[in-house]
Amino acid sequence: MKRVALRWGFLLAGLLALLAVLGYLAQSERRRLVALEREQVALRARARALEAELWARKNPKEVLRQAKEAGFVPMAEGRWRR
């Protein structure tokens, strides 16, 4: 009877240890997943900001302003200056 109880005790202890290890692994995986989700949100926000900046830079008035700052003269104005 003593040997049977000892076997069941070791079996239960082993199962508890296995359960503890699996719980630890699940928690660490969850923490890693939360970190990745936060990074994904930050990257999406950065992508939206970059897209907004791109559209702002593609605005024809902005392109004309930057061209004039760089010394370029639009063709229509250049013809009238002659």
Whether 77 has a pLDDT exceeding 90, the answer reads no
| Token pair recorded at residue 77 | 């104005």
Which tens digits make up the pLDDT trace of 8-53?
999 999 999 999 999 999 999 999 999 999 999 999 999 999 999 9
Report the domain count for the chain.
1
Closest CA to 76 of 57, 4, 55, 68: 68
Q: Report the SS3 class of residue 65.
A: helix
Identify the pLDDT of residue 81: 53
Integer Cα distance of 78 and 73 in angstroms: 6
- Largest Cα separation within the chain, whole Å, is 113
Band of residue 68 on the pLDDT scale cut at 50, 70, 90: confident
Q: Which amino acid makes up residue 6?
A: L
Domain that holds residue 47: 2-81
Q: Report the SS3 class of residue 22.
A: helix
